[in-house]
Structure 1
Amino acid sequence: MKYLKMMSPLVFLLMMNCAAQNTSKGFDKIAYEAQTRGSLVQITVEGNKLSYKTYQEEETKEISKEQLEELKKIVDELNLKGISDLKAPSEKRITDGALHAEFVIKVGDEEYKSSTFDAGNPPTELKKLEDFLYSLSDLKE
């Protein structure tokens, strides 16, 4: 009986720890930047604030709880450790035919930086994230 009393709290803590590991961490910050000579697009999401900047305009706005949850879901689907190894489907950025684009996603103390790609034509794994950020910012790709 004494053994059972000592083991019950341990089992409870172990179960709570496993449940906590299954919950989504989300992200602390997402930064998207696309640029080439004469063009710039920066989109940053931190907390519930989205800010975007081009050479023509700059704005910060609040995003809704639903939009933030959708963004977290999109990020959770990514293999963040592997985004630096993703291959771009096209190479127009090399000859200034497209903007050089990349993502930096911060989760806790870790920063995950994607490989560079043509803006508007990211690796398939990043397409949903790029499209969603553009839709939130009201910018045209």
Structure 2
Amino acid sequence: MRILSLLFLTLFIATGCCSQKKTNMASTQIEYSALSRGYYKKIVVQNQTVLVTNGRDQQPIESKIDDAKWNKIKAEFSKISLDKLSTLKAPTEKRFYDGAAIGNLKITQNQKTYETAGFDNGFPPKEIEKLVKLLVDFAKE
């Protein structure tokens, strides 16, 4: 009986830990922006919808995200540690001399905002590189 109780307790705890790892993407907004003096791009993803703005005075273009791409975004998002987002180091420094636009990734989840330090557009930190590339692909479409 003790073994059965111990087995049940272990299974219950393990199931609880696994469910905490799943991300509720319905309450998550991912925003990527890149800007310089003559360049502006903003991509906002939320609830399987993307808004792309390609200029300071432009209206955002809204479109739906297909299930395959949405699953890729969710998979890459789950790999990111939100608490460490602000400490990520940029691999290059072209933005310091106008060699690249300043990129920034901002994630809002459960009314808490996590944001990276600025990095060169096109050269994100390796920890968020795949997610940023998925977001930037929406601006190319």
TM class by smaller structure: 0.7 to 0.9
Moved more, 56-65 or 118-127: 56-65
Q: Percent identity?
A: 27
Distance 1:117 1:36 in 2: 12
Output the amino acid matched with 2:23. Answer: K
C-alpha separation in 2, matches of 1:81 and 1:68: 23
On the 8 A contact 1:26/1:72 being kept in 2, the answer is no
Matched, 1:128 2:130: yes
Is the 2:106–2:114 Cα contact (8 Å) retained in structure 1? yes
The 2-side partners of 1:118 and 1:103 are apart by 11
Task: Tell me the secondary structure at the aligned position of residue 78 of structure 1.
Answer: coil
* Counterpart position of 2:48: 48
Q: Aligned to 2:23, what secondary structure does the other structure show?
A: coil
What is the CA–CA distance in structure 1 between the aligned matches of 2:83 and 2:38, rounded to whole Å? 32
Question: Among 23, 26, 31, which residue is 1:25 paired with?
Answer: 23
| Structure 2 unmatched runs, 5+ | none
TM-score using structure 1 length: 0.80
Equivalent-residue separation in structure 2 for 1:126 and 1:92 (angstroms): 18
The one-letter amino acid paired with 1:21 is: Q
Matched residue count: 133
Extract unaligned runs of 5+ from structure 1: 1-6
Classify 1:116/1:26 alpha carbon distance in 2 versus 1 (closer, same or farther; 3 Å). Answer: farther
Which residue pairs with 1:4 in the alignment? none
Greater C-alpha radius of gyration: 1
40-49 or 86-95: bigger deviation: 86-95
CA RMSD across the alignment = 2.4
Normalised to the residue count of structure 2, the TM-score between the two structures is 0.80
